[in-house]
């Protein structure tokens, strides 16, 4: 693991590391915020994993969300990985579209050529990264939560539902809740996983919640002025499935907010507190 940068923030440290990833078969980067040492009760901190959306790297969240202040105050580590494999050997969308390929790993393990060699973001987030983080940083892995935005909200919901014993708490901003039914998701899942929609269902939060609801209350914030709300996000699909399955959730429609990091910055403190009250 190689330290790329380290910056003091609210008494703690905001760093970026790179490392050789087994899951993605390339170097990966992630950001990690460590709160001030005196905030760790037993020398360890709870940890939240933040999953960013389309076009993002490990830098968007740490430079735009402003979560360091509340992470320092509450004493929680926040890990923010990149959103796809990268590097000279990693293929991209032939059209270089923003919604597939680089910056758009969709938190699945690709089964199709040429994506399967590197695009294994599910294993990276659910398995490799937590192991690395627990080894390298003073975290209490038994107090781990996951949250994210848009494509990253989809990742947070699906990875939590499939691994509630690892990621005990979950929240999302403007998540893609039904990727099997919306253009962003259909493009990504059909290319990464092939035409069999049974494979897509394994990564569709609205399907998963009906099969394997979790015991925690999932917080979702969604802006009403979000350009992607009606075509790509459709939180009502998740809400209906969660209602049927008895999944506890809190969906807050936030008046006038759009899809941007201004929205995330407005409510990120609520989300960090939400996790900390439950971990
Ligand atoms: N460039 C595209 C839209 C891309 C976009 O809005 N990306 C969002 C996530 S969308 C879902 O996963 C984002 O977080 N962008 C980075 C940022 O710092 O804002 C377009 O112009 O339509």
The ipTM assigned to this model is 0.95
154 ligand 1 Cβ < 6 A: no
Active-site residue identified among 52, 226, 271, 275: 226
Which letter does DSSP use for residue 133 in this model?
A: H
Contact 144, 49 (CB under 8 A): yes
Alpha-carbon Rg for the chain, nearest whole angstrom, is: 17
Q: Is the beta carbon of 54 within 6 A of some atom in ligand 1?
A: yes
pLDDT digits (tens, 9 = 90+) for 177-222: 999 999 999 999 999 999 999 999 999 999 999 999 999 999 999 9
What's the CA-to-centroid distance between 49 and ligand 1, angstroms?
A: 19
Please, what is the end-to-end C-alpha distance for the chain in angstroms?
28
To which residue do tokens 């059909």 refer? 190
3-state secondary structure of 250: strand
pTM of the model: 0.98
> Is there a catalytic annotation at residue 259?
yes
Atom of ligand 1 nearest to the CA of 64: 18
- 243-249 contacts: CB < 8 A, separation 24 or more? 244/210, 245/209, 245/210, 245/211, 245/213, 246/213, 247/209, 247/213, 247/214, 247/218, 248/215, 248/216, 248/217, 248/218, 249/217, 249/218, 249/219, 249/220
For the chain, give the longest Cα–Cα distance: 52
φ/ψ of residue 25, rounded to 5: 55, 40
CA 134 to chain centre: 18
> pLDDT digit string (tens) for 85-140?
999 999 999 999 999 999 999 999 999 999 999 999 999 999 999 999 999 999 99
């Amino acid at each position: 693991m190689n330290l790329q940068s380290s910056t003091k923030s609210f008494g703690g440290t905001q760093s970026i590391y790179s490392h050789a990833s087994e899951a993605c078969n390339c170097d990966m980067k992630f950001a990690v915020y460590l709160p001030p040492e005196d905030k760790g009760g037993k020398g360890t901190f709870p940890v939240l994993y933040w999953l960013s959306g389309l076009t993002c790297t490990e830098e968007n969240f740490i430079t735009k969300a402003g979560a360091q202040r509340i992470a320092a105050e509450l004493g929680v580590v926040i890990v923010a990985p990149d959103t796809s494999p990268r590097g000279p050997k990693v293929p991209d969308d032939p059209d270089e579209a923003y919604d597939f390929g680089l910056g758009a790993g969709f938190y699945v393990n690709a089964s199709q050529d040429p994506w399967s060699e590197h695009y294994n973001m599910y294993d990276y987030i659910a398995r490799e990264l937590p192991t690395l983080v627990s080894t390298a940083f003073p975290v209490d892995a038994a107090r781990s939560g996951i949250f994210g935005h848009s494509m990253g909200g989809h990742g947070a919901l699906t990875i939590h539902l499939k691994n509630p014993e690892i990621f005990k708490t979950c929240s999302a901003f403007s998540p893609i809740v039904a990727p099997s039914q919306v253009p962003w998701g259909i493009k990504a899942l059909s290319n990464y996983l092939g035409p069999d929609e049974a494979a897509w269902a394994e990564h569709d939060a609205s399907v998963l919640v009906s099969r394997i609801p979790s015991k925690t209350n999932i917080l979702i914030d969604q802006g009403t002025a979000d350009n992607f709300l009606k075509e790509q996000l459709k939180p009502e699909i998740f809400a209906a499935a969660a209602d049927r399955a008895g999944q506890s959730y809190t969906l807050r429609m936030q008046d006038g907010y759009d899809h941007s990091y201004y929205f995330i910055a407005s409510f990120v403190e609520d989300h960090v507190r939400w996790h900390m009250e439950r971990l």
